[in-house]
Every structure is written in C-alpha cells, then in structure tokens.
Amino acid sequence: MNHHVKFAALAALSVFSINSNAALTAYSANGVDLVYSSVSNITWTKDANLLGSLIADQGYSAIVDAIIAASPVISDTPNSFDTPPYSGVHNVSAADFSSSDLGQTSWFGAKAFANYLNSIKYAGSDDWSLPGDVGGYSQFSQLFSSELGGQHGSDIPNTDTFINEQAYLYWLNKEAVYANADWAEYFVTTSPGGGSEVPFNKTFPMYAWVVTPGVVTPVPLPSAFLLMGTGLLGLFRWRRTEAC
C-alpha cells in the first residue's frame, strides 16, 4: 500500500475514536464538525441551526443572497405559493428567510439552503438535503426517538453531541400532496410517532437541519504530515540500501 494512502487510512479511522456512542459519532471533515448516525447511515451537521449560525457570522444579506444565487428557484407540485401561482416553480426570495429569528425559513428556503451547501461542497459533500424517509420513518424521527432518547411531547433533547438544537419545528424533505399541494411535511415532537409526517403550509417559518448520506470524506492530510511520511519512507529505503 502507498504510504500516503496508509497514513490517510489511519487518519480516517482515528476520526471515529472520540465522542461516540452506539448510534451517533462526532467527527470532522474539511474543518467542519459533523455527526454520523449508524442507525440511518447519514451524517448530520453538528450545528442544528447552521443557517442561523451562518447568518449571525456572515450577515443576513450575504448568506441569503448567496443562497438565492445558488438556488434561485425550487420546483414542486403546482400550488398557490408558486410564482406565478400553480406554475410548479417558486422563486426564492428574501421573504423566505427570517431576518429576526435567525435560521427560520420557509420550506422553499430550507430546500434552497441545502442546494447552496451543495454548491459550495460544504464539509466536502455536494449531497446535502433535508431529512427524508427510511424504512417508513423519517430520518428526523429516528434521530429524535432512537438516538437522542426523545419522548412524545417533549422538546428535542439538548446533548453534547449537537449544538444549537431548536425545540421543534424542522422541515422535512417531502411535500404533503396527500393533504394539500400548499403543504410540506415537518417534524414536531408533540405528534404521534415523533412527528415524522405532519403537514403545514410551505411558507411557514421553521428550521432547516440538513443531512448527507454515509460518512463525509475526512479532512485531507496536512502537507507537513505528508512530508513527514515521505521522510520516514526515504529513511526506510536508505536503511535498506545500507543493509545491502
């Protein structure tokens, strides 16, 4: 095995040696803190209100303008919130993002935020999305009940695994066309089954917590570490030559 590859493999394995339990494992990729779920085989952002944090750090206009530039339209089932109505296309605008309750956004804004993260390959992934369904349950419901130990009617638990958890009201990656084309599904802890399929209108302000499949590629090895590996390899070859 190439020594650089071997060092990279060791570094990748060491990522999972800290802050882990039976289901959730905290790690970093490309300088970003993430959490891997072995139950759903997905990675969550450690920041449960990443959109709000980005706006707080970089400014409302800077982030919202960047999101709109990366994802100016969201296609969906024709409904009254499309622009124009029932066109099957919603033009994303600043109206989709709260300027006071940072991180709150419409379903359209939440979808556009995931698209923006993909456009910049956030943490090294270009496959971010809102939580979807797996095995008949939403990925968010699995996180709440199976991994965080949440109980029906309680807020989302605050743990050391994540930061900035909001009490409830997170958008899911699914329209609620069975109920009303104006609606999409969201997670709320007070609903039966952990709120995996609760519909409400797509313009209501809720939070966006994104996921990406599997494990994100770990942080690339620093050049200094690679140089050290190269030096050790050279020393090894020199000693073998001397021995011959």
> Does residue 116 sit within a domain?
yes
Tell me whether residue 83 is in a domain.
yes
Domains contained in the chain, number: 1
**Would residue 162 count as lying in a domain?**
yes
For residue 71, is it within any domain? yes
Domain span at residue 57 reads 22-222
Residue 129 · residue 117 · CB < 8 Å: no
Characterize the bridge pairing of strands 170-175 and 32-37: unpaired
Please give the order of strands across the beta sheet that includes 42-45. 24-29, 32-37, 42-45, 211-213
8 in a domain, yes or no?
Answer: no
The pLDDT tens digits along the chain (244 residues) read 443 333 333 344 344 433 444 589 999 999 999 999 998 899 999 999 999 999 999 999 999 999 999 999 999 999 999 999 999 999 999 999 999 999 999 999 999 999 999 999 999 999 999 999 876 678 888 898 888 888 776 778 888 899 999 988 899 999 988 889 999 999 887 655 544 568 899 999 999 999 999 999 765 555 444 444 444 445 444 444 454 5
- Summarised one tens digit per residue, pLDDT across range 59-98 is 999 999 999 999 999 999 999 999 999 999 999 999 999 9
Concatenated DSSP letters of 101-123: STT-B-HHHHHHHHHHHHHTTGG
- 207 neighbors 188 (Cβ within 8 angstroms): no
**Does residue 124 form part of some domain?**
yes
Residue 121 forms part of a structural domain: yes
Q: pTM of this prediction?
A: 0.80
